Structure 1
């Protein structure tokens, strides 16, 4: 049987990165070295001017002009430019006086852009829940810089939360960290985006992890996110208690477990793993029965009353078909009941639409509950 990856599918990581740099997980990522980049000359000049202190305002201007150039040309030297800016900041007043003469009209535009760039550029370590970002490393394995942007603008990812790894006195190894991140971030993402149909098709589970080097410096933070390696997406995917009505939240918490279990269908078909497939179909049956019960325990107002009631009836019919699958005596009986069970899963689009939720799943996804 085909295996379908879900929106919270895990990621695969590997390799070693620069000291102190978090490494990131993304679908299909593979270990490789960081590409060699040229260093921006203005960034170097800014640092030198800031250190020598002969012309502090010059160091500030050079640093702020260098930042947008570094971003546009994908150069190194961002740290040099920021350091030069800090060392020269005490002469901001002199810089304003110089700009007022009109002699730096061309540099003023880059100056303002540089100020904005400096304020929005962050380390992945400093990302916070709800922030949308552009990964300056193009979501490659090791990332040192991300740029915070408004979620209405195109972006590579959105932070869903994070946690600290505990229970390990020593570096547990990349595999152990990845295993923890896969499980914990799946839970974090699921709670952050209850309206899973509103998550674009190519947006997946993603996370930034401590490296072995940063671990030695005390870093224990895993940052969870939704992100894409393909075309940037616009708009927030957040749909939790802070953005949903009580009716919307109750509905999604009732039906989402069905969707989650569908993604756990064993890769091996019943001929290869009858026990595993039968256990999974039992989980599906339990999720369907619980969703039907949970929907029946809530008052559904207005336009949602009828479609939710119809959905409950359809879940009842689906339960009978999945019970036949879950209690199949052998492989042949399992296959006989398999298609009918899947076909019985109801389409919840009408109920979702009536509740003001996303009524169309991402392209390529099914429309079952």
Structure 2
């Protein structure tokens, strides 16, 4: 007779005997979900009372339904009870408060620790280690707190198929960041004297990974400073912005005077004198085009008159035929240029009326 198999229909075994499944194997017992939840709650210690309650609810259900998980429930009850005890002790002694405070402080510090290349315009920071060293980590702080640097902006280096060398990028960064910083802090007199142009450059290693970013900043090598130096178009009135954009180029060009004197490099000095003459003439014209508020109009007019007189002297310097003639016109040109570049007008426009002690210098890099 051929062998045939039909559907399994019976459950062998008499009264009081547990049923068995096909082929004599015992059926699979399910694990109680409350027991699992109790253990998890006890382990993570997030809600110890919850783990205790879940474990106590799980035990009678496990017995009634013949489920697995008694050991899990018991472990959850024990761990939750211990967690509850520790919680009570922590609250009584203040340990929980101290832990939470330390945890928050740690999270806050971690969130403020950044790479220099993740800095954003307007952020103030303090580098790990000396400013002149190559920094891999900086700490972002509020600008009202003491800090070493303030980010003014940045740009991406273009035009190179391979690593051009630090010197090549440095030349680009110094020129571009001077423009970026100038736009960020139009009220230059509000920048402390020992705060200088600074920038972070890509390294040869980061360049290979696709980094092309130069981060521009103001920074102090001597000591931390407090307060933001930002005075861009978003923080100035139209009159303040117009005045500063008109007059600031004179100040900027004065810092570019060649280190070599006319006897050593006459051409470079003549080019510089011509550039400064152009800045003076542009400022003279620009101040005359705008109608200024009544309270500052007289001081602006006085500055414009001084610039007109200075223009004549700087013309002599810029057109000097030789080094001797250049030297003969040099002192008179400087004396004619208003030293304060309109302090009274600045004060009347609610700008910084006193220049910082000392002068800004050339930028540095890291």
The answer to whether TM tops 0.5 is yes
Q: Relative contact order (C-alpha < 8 Å, sep 6+): which is higher? A: 1
CA contact (8 A) 1:137 1:144 kept: no
Gaps of 5+ in 1: 1-54, 58-93
Deviation at 1:105, TM superposition (A): 4.4
- Greater Rg by CA: 2
Question: 2-side partners of 1:207 and 1:247: how far apart?
Answer: 30
Query: What SS is found at the alignment partner of 1:269?
Result: coil
CA contact (8 A) 1:164 1:221 kept: yes
Q: 2:262 aligns with which of 253, 258, 270?
A: 270
Question: 1-side partners of 2:162 and 2:325: how far apart?
Answer: 50
CA contact (8 A) 1:158 1:236 kept: yes
Query: What SS is found at the alignment partner of 2:176?
Result: helix
Residue 252 of structure 1 is matched in structure 2 by 244
Please tell me whether residue 299 in structure 1 is matched to residue 291 in structure 2. yes
Residue 352 of structure 1 is matched in structure 2 by 346
Question: 2-side partners of 1:186 and 1:364: how far apart?
Answer: 18
Residue 170 of structure 2 is matched in structure 1 by 178
CA contact (8 A) 1:134 1:146 kept: yes
Please tell me whether residue 330 in structure 1 is matched to residue 317 in structure 2. no
Gaps of 5+ in 2: 1-42, 46-82, 361-366
Residue 233 of structure 2 is matched in structure 1 by 241
Query: What SS is found at the alignment partner of 1:170?
Result: coil
Deviation at 1:206, TM superposition (A): 0.8
Deviation at 1:56, TM superposition (A): 7.3
Could you tell me the TM-score, scaled by structure 1's length? 0.71
Residue 144 of structure 1 is matched in structure 2 by 136
Alignment of 1:54-133 (within 5 A): 98=87, 102-133=94-125
Residue 158 of structure 1 is matched in structure 2 by 150
Residue 362 of structure 1 is matched in structure 2 by 356
Deviation at 1:334, TM superposition (A): 1.4
Deviation at 1:290, TM superposition (A): 0.6
Could you tell me the TM-score, scaled by structure 2's length? 0.71
Query: What SS is found at the alignment partner of 1:133?
Result: strand
Can you list the C-alpha shifts for 1:85-136, whole angstroms capped at 9, x where unaligned? xxxxxxxxx99x9565744444343223212212222111210000111112
Residue 205 of structure 1 is matched in structure 2 by 197
Describe the shift of the 1:108–1:140 C-alpha distance in structure 2 as closer, same or farther (beyond 3 A). Answer: farther
Residue 317 of structure 1 is matched in structure 2 by 309
Residue 192 of structure 1 is matched in structure 2 by 184
For these two proteins, the number of residue pairs brought into alignment is 277
